[in-house]
Amino acid sequence: MAKENTLGLSRNDYKGRKSTLCPGCGHDSISNQIISTAYDLGLEQHKVIKMSGIGCSSKTPAYFLGRSHGFNALHGRMPSVATGALLANRELKAVAVSGDGDTGSIGMGQFKHVIRRNVPFVYIIENNGVYGLTKGQFSATADEGQELKYYGRNDLPAIDLALEAIISGATFVARSFSGDAKQVQSLLQAAIAHKGTAILDIISPCVTFNNNDSSTKSYSYGKEHEIPLHEIQVLAPDYVEGKEEITIGDYAEGEIIEVDMHDGTIVRLKKLDRDHDPRNRMQAISVLEEAQREQLFLTGLIYYEEPRPTVQENENLIEAPLATISEAAMRPSAEKLAEVMASFR
């Protein structure tokens, strides 16, 4: 019998339809990490919505969490659609998938504004530096000086979406590599627990158009150059110290950073070679600047801060989903209308 999670569901129950992406696509491994994470956490799929824009990455919500409603919206406009859905029903958790074209070019405005509004959802950018569906044009995250078969040399500087996210006021910004299953899953868990917009920029190689060794978004580059900023362990809200073994390994006092998430989840970061505290905004920006300058591929939780009020809190919305409140709560009385009419006499 297949293994079951706390809801009595197997991992298969969290799958979606068969992927139609190219075999070996980095996006498919991210879908798999989403499936594993949701299964491990015992997520109730009917309380999840899957949102996306347009592009290879945006097709993937069809390939995971088959029991969740999904919306494959317009190119670059997923953030606004997700915002509306989460205003309609604040009990929903949204897992959104976008790409570097969808976010970094056509969708840059909505990307920044959804962060500014602090819409609480997981925003995954499956970043491969290239437009796949239109056969391999450079995206805005492509490396400066990179060569592509048909489009020649890219003369423009790359946009760093993690940096853009921090500057826009994001309270959770992480970067990972689709080949690093363990780290992607840990970051996903933490992002799901976050009460605000959680940006996950995941480098995800395009096996067809952008997987040559010179590209910083290829498998070989990712595997050889990934420098995790820390080891990550995510402890569930019901984790009890002492009863469960800490698997992050041996550590000395001061080498661990504990980040308390709003829902009781604890993210434990074990310092590696670099001394990076994700709670320091200026340091986070410096780390990204340095990485860009020296072509380093730094991964992990780059920036975290205690989230600002969410869009629903700022709107002072009732806790219950607006979508299903009673007619009595939706339509003021005839007496109220009469009062309003009298004021226009």
Partner 1 sequence: MCAFQAPTSEQASVSSEPVVNDFAFSVATSNGSGSQTSNNVLVQTLFDMGIPVNGKNLFPSNIKGLPTWYTIRASKDGYTARRATTEIVVAYNGATVAEDVAALPPGGVCIIRDDVAKIAPKRDDITVYTVPVKDLMDQADVPSAFAKRVENMTYVGVVAQLFDIPLDMIRTSLVKNFGGKEKPAMMNFAVIQLAYDYFKDNVEKVDPFRFEKMDLTKGKILITGNEAGALGAIFGGVHVVAWYPITPSTSLVDTIISYKHLRKDPETGKSTIAVVQAEDELAAAGMIIGAGFAGARSMTATSGPGISLMSEFAGLAYFAEIPCVIWDITRMGPSTGLPTRTSQGDILFTHYLGHGDTRQFCLLPASPEEAFEFGWRALDLAEQLQSPIFVISDLDLGMNNWMSEPFEYPDQPIQRGKVLDAEQLQQFIADHGKWGRYWDVDGDGVGYRTIPGTDHPMAAYFTRGTGHDEMAVYSENSETWLENMHRIKVKEETGRKLLPQPIEDYDSSKSIGIISFGTNEPAIIEARDWLAREGVETNCMRVRALPLADSVLEFVKKHERIYVVENNFDGQLNQIMRIDFAEHMANVKSLTLGDGLPMAARWVVNSILEHEGK
Residues in touch with partner 1 (CB under 8 A): 17, 44-47, 49, 51, 61-62, 66-74, 77, 79-89, 91-92, 109-110, 113, 117, 311-312, 315-319, 321-325, 327, 329-332, 334, 336-338, 340-341, 344-345
Instruction: Read off the tokens for 50.
Output: 């899957």
How many angstroms separate the CA atoms of 181 and 191, rounded? 15
Task: Give CA separation, 212 vs 34, 90, 104, 139, in Å.
Answer: 27, 43, 22, 16
Q: Which amino acid is located at 141 in the chain? A: T
Q: Nearest distance from residue 154's CB to partner 1, in Å? A: 28
- Smaller CB separation from partner 1, 110 or 215: 110
Residue number, 11 or 77, with CB nearest to partner 1? 77
Nearer to partner 1, 53 or 307 (CB): 53
The minimum distance between CB 333 and partner 1, in angstroms, equals 9
Residue with tokens 């970061």: 269
Pick 240 or 330: Cβ nearer partner 1: 330
Find the shortest distance in angstroms from Cβ 146 to partner 1. Answer: 31
Q: Which of 105, 198, 199 is nearest to 158 (CA)?
A: 105
CA–CA separation, 295 and 117 (whole Å): 32
Q: Please report how close the Cβ of residue 47 comes to partner 1 at its closest, in angstroms.
A: 6
The minimum distance between CB 11 and partner 1, in angstroms, equals 16
- Shortest approach of partner 1 to residue 182 CB, angstroms? 29
Q: What is the number of alpha carbons within 13 Å of residue 281 lying toward its C-beta?
A: 11
Which lies closer to partner 1 via its Cβ, residue 135 or residue 336?
Answer: 336
Q: Which residues contact 340 (CB under 8 A, 6 or more apart)?
A: none
Which of residues 240 and 334 has its CB atom nearest to partner 1 in the complex? 334
If you search the block for the tokens 């986070």, which residue do you land on? 284
Length of the chain: 345
